[in-house]
Structure 1
Amino acid sequence: MSSIPVLNDEQWLNLLKYAASDFNEVTLSRGFQYFKQQFVRSLSASGDHSLQARVAGTEQYTVTFHIDKPASGRCTCPVGYNCKHIAAVMMELGDRMGYPASQLVNAKHHIKQIALASPSEELLKQLPGKDVFGWHEAMNEITAPVKPPYNQSQYIEELRYRLQHIRKASIPFSEIDSVYFDVHQELFVLRKFREQCTHGEYKYYTSFVLPRLYRDMHDLLRQKSAMSDFSLSEARLSQTLQYIRRQMAEETGFSFMEYGLYDVMWELWISHLPEIEIWVSRELDDIEKQSLLSPSLAAAKAFLYLQQSRNEDAWAVIETGGILKDIPSSFLLSFLYRISASGDWETLTNWLTKTASSFYRRRSHELEAYIRLWNEAAQHVPYAKQQMWSLLESMLPYSMSIIEDMLYEQREWKLWIEMQIQQEHDPLHHRVSVLQPIEKDAPELLLPYYHQAVNHYVSLKNRHDYKQAVKLLKRLEKVYKKMKLPERWERFFAGFTDKHSRLRALNEELKKGKLLG
């Protein structure tokens, strides 16, 4: 069978009207339960806009359905038509095509709301002449009937669904204005949902949804930046930055989510512009007019000072704004990267020292990035290396893996092996290739590491660990040969076999490993 045909907005509206007129609320509710429980086992096309589905129930039923003629749908259940199985199939179809199945459950209510929310032609014609704040006012008007429900995902879907009326309309936007408008529709949804988080009763649930919406917004900004040149409309760009600054000013607490949008916009839309210094000065002037800075605005101000190489002023903003302990380490890293790119190694060392506490107990990749910057600084500032090692020691145990990696990269074999022994690792903990450079450079350092591990496995006195001991002994023999000390190996091995001659299972494994004749 062929793939399912694409469902468009007009066909979806017809399905809503069909559900509202031909189904009762009980049947739609039961159909929704079947949909949620994934009772629609298969859904495939059987002709032009015709579908066939298998739906589980008291027994398995077959539904045939035509998208353009929904009333002709039939089911092999005793009801035969307009049943919960057909309702479940329509919901499954809508869900697969990106339409909210919940709208079918409340089809009558939704149809009424669509009629009330349809924007006037006059309002739509005015949009190209409005600034971005006028766009947001229009979107407020269009979505006014949407009331925040308990189901927050449904709230987001309702907002976006109403905004589709604008997308479908023939608005004479320029190509770049059309891109900006797409971005601002999502910024609008984000703002409305954030307001719901602030004033609503279900903050526990919103705390999960809101970060995802911001990540989606970041992805959209990256997607649009790859397709468009935002500098083609400096007025819209300036207005958009002004809009984000307003959101940053209103942000409460220390989430820095709005600053995250500002940072991404700056990186993708502005950083490559030829008159970047003018943009930086203009932005700073606007922020400095604020009498009281929110945490996000303080972060933005520090960021802009760094753009002007005013590193001391940037640090003063971070320090006096009290944001150091709360600002996400990813944003601190972006500040540190900019100092590194400027080649001001003394300042980088100073900032790395001052921000160290922000990287304690952080995710390993953030701590690793922080230490890589220390390594850069240490190549240019004589005292930076000692400071770096002192900090790494103070960050134990979180810095353990980083210290290991650095010792290994710097071929500090003695310290690296001592660290393995301290952590109760043994040579079998590593891939053979990990120990090969040590066997080449300093094989004598491996002797205590191997001997200790062999004694440990033999002391456990079971067949499996005897096999492990034999593996280590075979490697140990190669190390002695590498050192050109075969006689020391023979003396050790003779003493070893004599000491453990009564361990029959061990001797059997030694024979299997061809260490004993």
Structure 2
Amino acid sequence: MLKVQIPKNRMNVLIGHLRDDVSLPRLEKGWEYFHKGRVAGIELRHGVEIRALVRGAKPHEVQIDLDEFGKSECSCPADEPCEHMAAVIFSLYTPFARPELLLQQLKQAKLVKNRQQQARQTGGRQEKRQERLEAPVPKQLPSVWQRYFDQQFYGFALSQQHSIELFYSAAKEKLTPLSDGWPSPLQELYRLHLLLFVMRKIEQFYQETKTSYISYYIETGCRTVGHQCMEELQKLLPSLDVKALLAECPAHWKETIAAISETALSGKESPLSWLTVYRSIWWRMADKTDWTADERKRLKRLLGSKELMPRRRDALVMADAHFSVMEGKDEEARERMEQLGKREARDFFMYLHRFYEKSAWERMLAWLRWLLPALQRAQAEELRQFSQYWMEAVQQQEDDAEWVDVMVSLLPRTYQFYTAYLLKAGRLKAWVDLQLANRVSPVNLYSLDLQTLEKQDPALLLPLFHQAVDRCIAEKNRTAYATATKLLKKLHSIYKKLDREKVWEDYIYRFAAKYSRLRALQEELRKGKWIP
């Protein structure tokens, strides 16, 4: 069992030696020794020397010099830093963090180092210098821009929690100014490709670090930055002059469409919504009937394959149905989308948003009704967006009966949206009934909401406070009794405001008698001066 803890700076030095001096097989063997509890007798001598016993095929004594690691020794025959030393270092790391995460970090670092060495051996520095691309210029095709972007961030290291955010900032800062002074259509197209590059790298990072010790942070960063990229994309698209691009540089635009299609229709798992990018781009080309006709033919040809994976088939179905939406044939699109293996609400919010912007309320309502089954498994943010769109649509209807039924059917997940709407609509009794049904105590409600009810109809609050008092008594502890006493004080003020003092006196008398055997409650009632 570990009895000592070395300083963090010395621990960092030992980690560096594990990374640079211990081979991967020995590192993994050392982890196995540590994991199986074969490290014993660890002690610190003179502040600079670690000694321990590692039981492998036979016991080995390990001595690690914290000042000069090169002087460290092990009784095994190895003539280099060995697995027994690695096992001891893993043991020393336990007070700082989880050793299994350190193992993953070290393996990842060694993998990157090996790749870099292989690249140097196969390419050679002189050859790489000759292949280095110049900064992008307007006449180059987008594929050349993308190759330049890749070169600038080749080997970008994901070594900390905020690596994705740092990559995003660095890419924007370094690559955006390169298009300054370009003709307007190409400058917007360049910025679109910069966003596509960032998104492509995000997907690559996401896939490559699934087993990394910082995979959680990388995945979170990928989703956060991906969301930022999608927001930027939606702002950029209106300024993208597709007509001018087709007239002046059709090859540039053709490559752009091809690159987006290849990624969006692959069906690969991704933290990004590539299908949204694909559909948004094609929506900008609704009047280019020759282009859209060719794309639909291509999609139908791809859908004719009998060996499509489910995820890829869904992507192709979504893409094909989108062209029906573009033509205003929503019913035809929804019928097509019934073939989807999995219907995700987030894939359709772009339609709801567009209909909201165009005030196309009937189209929005039709899609909202169709999406309702998918909302049962939607995430919280998706449910929030759905509820907001429906709240906008309900204002265009003669009454809100349909919307209320939807909110009730999705309770308790829609509690926040439904309760806010009831207050806003002045349906106070329904608001109180909702709190009673969900057993929500007035203690957990906003004071402003309670003040609104007390001002307009204080009698509605009586059952809410009575229920809360009864639930506090049922808990049978002094803290709950103290809360009940405070609620009784508010309850008394409501009865007083309603000029029903006699009813209150009768209630408090029967209340005290009913719980006369609860000594702690009786004491709290005396403190509150409810009983003598």
Q: Distance in 1 between matches of 2:467 and 2:217?
A: 49
- 2:465 is the alignment partner of 1:480: no
Match of 2:362 among 339, 346, 355: 346
Rate the CA distance shift 1:180–1:449 in 2: closer, same or farther, 3 A.
closer
Could you say what secondary structure the match of 2:255 adopts?
helix
- 2:142 is the alignment partner of 1:132: yes
Q: Which moved further from structure 2: 483-492 or 249-258?
A: 249-258
Q: Distance in 2 between matches of 1:119 and 1:514?
A: 87
Rate the CA distance shift 1:431–1:214 in 2: closer, same or farther, 3 A.
closer
Match of 1:380 among 387, 390, 396: 396
1:436-476 deviation digits (Å, cap 9, x = unpaired): 22212221122223233334434554433321221111010
Q: Is the contact between residue 254 and residue 327 of structure 1 (CA under 8 Å) also seen in structure 2?
A: no
Q: Supply the AA of the counterpart residue of 2:120.
A: I
Q: Which residue of 2 aligns with 1:241?
A: 257
Q: Which residue of 1 aligns with 2:95?
A: none
1:232-286 deviation digits (Å, cap 9, x = unpaired): 98344553233202333443699984213335x64xxx98xxxx56666565334
- 2:51 is the alignment partner of 1:27: no
Task: Give 5+ residue unaligned stretches, structure 1.
Answer: 1-18, 38-56, 62-74, 89-98
Could you say what secondary structure the match of 1:251 adopts?
coil
Q: Distance in 2 between matches of 1:250 and 1:107?
A: 29
Q: Is the contact between residue 25 and residue 105 of structure 1 (CA under 8 Å) also seen in structure 2?
A: no
Shift of 1:301: 5.0
Match of 1:496 among 496, 499, 511: 511
Structure-2-length-normalised TM-score:
0.59
Q: Distance in 2 between matches of 1:508 and 1:336?
A: 59
- 2:68 is the alignment partner of 1:77: yes
Q: Which residue of 1 aligns with 2:121?
A: 112
Structure-1-length-normalised TM-score:
0.61
Task: Give 5+ residue unaligned stretches, structure 2.
Answer: 1-15, 32-43, 49-65, 73-79, 82-88, 90-107, 304-312
Rate the CA distance shift 1:485–1:242 in 2: closer, same or farther, 3 A.
same
Rate the CA distance shift 1:260–1:132 in 2: closer, same or farther, 3 A.
same
Q: Supply the AA of the counterpart residue of 2:506.
A: R
Match of 1:288 among 276, 282, 296: 296
Q: Distance in 2 between matches of 1:173 and 1:441?
A: 61
Q: Is the contact between residue 349 and residue 377 of structure 1 (CA under 8 Å) also seen in structure 2?
A: yes
Q: Distance in 2 between matches of 1:59 and 1:110?
A: 45
Q: Is the contact between residue 466 and residue 506 of structure 1 (CA under 8 Å) also seen in structure 2?
A: yes
Q: Supply the AA of the counterpart residue of 1:414.
A: K
Rate the CA distance shift 1:503–1:188 in 2: closer, same or farther, 3 A.
closer
1:375-431 deviation digits (Å, cap 9, x = unpaired): 322222336x32223333443454445433433333323233233333333333434
Q: Supply the AA of the counterpart residue of 2:297.
A: K
Rate the CA distance shift 1:120–1:396 in 2: closer, same or farther, 3 A.
same
- For residues 164-243 of structure 1, the aligned pairs below 5 Å read 176=187, 182-183=194-195, 185-186=197-198, 189=201, 216=225, 219-220=228-229, 231=241, 234=245, 235=249, 236-237=252-253, 239-243=255-259
- 2:445 is the alignment partner of 1:454: no
Q: Distance in 1 between matches of 2:383 and 2:19?
A: 55
Q: Supply the AA of the counterpart residue of 2:21.
A: T
Q: Which residue of 2 aligns with 1:465?
A: 480
Rate the CA distance shift 1:340–1:482 in 2: closer, same or farther, 3 A.
same
Q: Which residue of 1 aligns with 2:336?
A: 320
Q: Which residue of 1 aligns with 2:437?
A: 422
Q: Supply the AA of the counterpart residue of 2:434.
A: M
Q: Is the contact between residue 339 and residue 348 of structure 1 (CA under 8 Å) also seen in structure 2?
A: yes
Identity value in percent: 20
Q: Which moved further from structure 2: 223-232 or 291-300?
A: 223-232
Rate the CA distance shift 1:328–1:26 in 2: closer, same or farther, 3 A.
same
- For residues 270-289 of structure 1, the aligned pairs below 5 Å read 281=289, 284-289=292-297
